[in-house]
Chain A
Amino acid sequence: SQQGEEDPQALSIQEGENATMNCSYKTSINNLQWYRQNSGRGLVHLILIRSNEREKHSGRLRVTLDTSKKSSSLLITASRAADTASYFCATVNFGNEKLTFGTGTRLTIIP
């Protein structure tokens, strides 16, 4: 079963704009991870944020985590055509290592 949901389900923006997608989940977590999936490269890990962290940066990516609201957001700044993909959040609970994925956000960057 899916742990949570991404919002929006689909997003189209112009190249150069920022893209924000949100993830909500249901249970207490050890960490939350974001993955990107496109037809060319499959599922690729982007960033991991632990339950005791509130914000993390990696290049053009910024992730926030609010454990009180059970939500996370992924911000991609200065978007590029190559960012076109589906983005998934995935949670890991304490005591195991399996990923529980959300439903994904399909991002389209318009050149």
Chain B
Amino acid sequence: DTGVSQDPRHKITKRGQNVTFRCDPISEHNRLYWYRQTLGQGPEFLTYFQNEAQLEKSRLLSDRFSAERPKGSFSTLEIQRTEQGDSAMYLCASSPQSSGTGHEQYFGPGTRLTVT
């Protein structure tokens, strides 16, 4: 399967612990996105990369959140000092660079985080 993969699929952690999620995009895609989705809501944008450059960060991304994409391949999303409000599904997506008229995004299965 050459789709977007995410690891782990589920993570349960205690409040105050740090967690790190990984996303492997479709290999030829140079854009990578992170979204967060809570129950009953649509996904909300967190950040995105073009190659290794982080181009935009949402105000939702507090200083406890950090994302990297070394060498423009896989990406990691780290949450430090987790809080119960961080419990959500974290979605990764990738897309090729568009010509300016837009392109669909391909989503991974998500990592479900539960903070107890």
- Contact for A30 among B56, B91, B101, CB less than 8 A: B101
Taking a contact as CB atoms under 8 Å apart, the answer to whether B103 and A97 are in contact is yes
Q: Which chain A residue has the least Cβ–Cβ distance from B110?
A: A42
Distance in angstroms between the alpha carbons of A92 and B91 in the assembled complex: 18
The reply on B95 being an interface residue by CB < 8 A is yes
Taking a contact as CB atoms under 8 Å apart, the answer to whether A98 and B45 are in contact is yes
Taking a contact as CB atoms under 8 Å apart, the answer to whether A99 and B105 are in contact is yes
- Contact for B42 among A50, A96, A102, CB less than 8 A: A102
Task: Count B interface residues, CB 8 Å.
Answer: 27
The reply on B33 being an interface residue by CB < 8 A is yes
How many A residues touch the partner, as a band? Answer: 20 to 34
The reply on B85 being an interface residue by CB < 8 A is no
Determine the chain B residues whose CB is within 8 A of the CB of A92 once the complex forms.
Answer: 102
The reply on B48 being an interface residue by CB < 8 A is yes
Q: A1-B44, A2-B42 are in contact. Are A97 and B104 (CB under 8 A)?
A: no
- Contact for A101 among B40, B43, B110, CB less than 8 A: B43
The reply on A48 being an interface residue by CB < 8 A is yes
Determine the chain B residues whose CB is within 8 A of the CB of A1 once the complex forms.
Answer: 44
Taking a contact as CB atoms under 8 Å apart, the answer to whether B101 and A45 are in contact is no
Distance in angstroms between the alpha carbons of A1 and B58 in the assembled complex: 10
The reply on B25 being an interface residue by CB < 8 A is no
